[in-house]
Amino acid sequence: MTKRDTQNTKRSANNVYAVILVGGIGKRLQPLSKPSRPKPFLSVTKDRKTIFAKTVARVRKILPMENIIVVANKRQAHLIRKSSPKILKGNLLLEKASKNTAPAIALASLELKKRSGDAVIVVLPADHYIGNEGLYLSTLKKAIDFVKVNSRALVTIGLEPTFPATGYGYIRVRAKGRKGEVYEVERFVEKPDIETARKFIEDGGYLWNTGTFIFKAVTFLGAVRRLAKSIYEPMKDMRKIEERYDMLPNISVDYAIMEKAYDIYCVKGSYRWEDVGSFDSLKKVLKAEGRRFLEKDGKVTKII
């Protein structure tokens, strides 16, 4: 490899950023999850690290610390610093009010476009449990490589459903629209009722939507400009974002962008995943990790 090739490889690696979305308090896990200790800051694994800290540790295996961005509410800043003290101060983007995933990702995209116009962004929820870490990171790398070559693509990660879940969104993929291990996305589907979820399983063309997205910052911002003007207009002047943040709609990236955009693709993963958003999923994780807990009326009240 020549010196120029080495420099290009380093530049390519340094142009990929993880954007970790801390999100809300996890209302479905109350009172275990609460404003003073939101869901991402619960400790559910045997090593007793928080879910947020585990998210950071995983992505650090493929990206340097300086390329890890966190978007969170201002009230969560001290929890982030306590949980992962190596997060760089300049990489902590604090919202004055939580406005859901679409504005949060737009905020990070604007920042990264300014830093590196050709930046590739890997959007990661901060409250997911991942098993089979090697498979997980391999899946992320496939998606990153695809976006580097297909600059207009908006990519998500989907998983084969193992049961008819009603708490997850789904992705309908085109079997004939494959590019290697990457599928064209036909549509996003919101959380279904049990009968619909069973039909999805029988159909075989639906994957669980993991809420993980990979795309170039400029591509996402272009989609926001076309499809979500109520987000783009208040944010287009970065000098005034702080004063205009209250004007932003509270809307998910699925509703605002992914359900309307073109060039949507899905990389199919096969790792173990739990969106720790219900007491049932939380108990699955705690049992798998050998963590003891107290419960009352089906709710986990304390993790021991």
Q: Is 70 exceeded by the pLDDT of residue 11? A: no
Give the percent of the chain with pLDDT over 90: 83
Q: Is 70 exceeded by the pLDDT of residue 223? A: yes
For the chain, list the domains and their CATH numbers. 15-153+212-249+273-303 (3.90.550.10)
- Token code pair at residue 187: 């549509």
Give pLDDT, residue 237: 84
* Residue among 252, 146, 269 at smallest CA distance from 208: 269
Q: Is 70 exceeded by the pLDDT of residue 95? A: yes
Query: Band of the pLDDT at 4, cuts 50, 70, 90?
Result: very low
If you average pLDDT over residues 261-273, what whole number do you get? 95
Give pLDDT, residue 24: 73
Rounded to 10 deg, the angle between the 51-59 and 133-149 helix axes is: 60
If you average pLDDT over residues 113-141, what whole number do you get? 95
Paired sense of beta strands 68-73 and 16-21, if any: parallel
Tell me the Cα Rg of the chain.
19
If you average pLDDT over residues 284-291, what whole number do you get? 96
Cα-Cα end-to-end distance for the chain = 52
Going from the C-alpha of 96 to that of each of 60, 108, 144, 248, the distances in angstroms are: 27, 14, 30, 11
Q: Is 90 exceeded by the pLDDT of residue 10? A: no
Q: Considering only 179-193, 221-235, 289-303, which range has the smallest mean pLDDT? A: 179-193
Query: Band of the pLDDT at 3, cuts 50, 70, 90?
Result: very low
What is the SS3 assignment for 270? coil
Preceding peptide of 31 cis, ω within 30°: yes
For the whole model, what pTM was predicted? 0.93
- Token code pair at residue 159: 């998983």
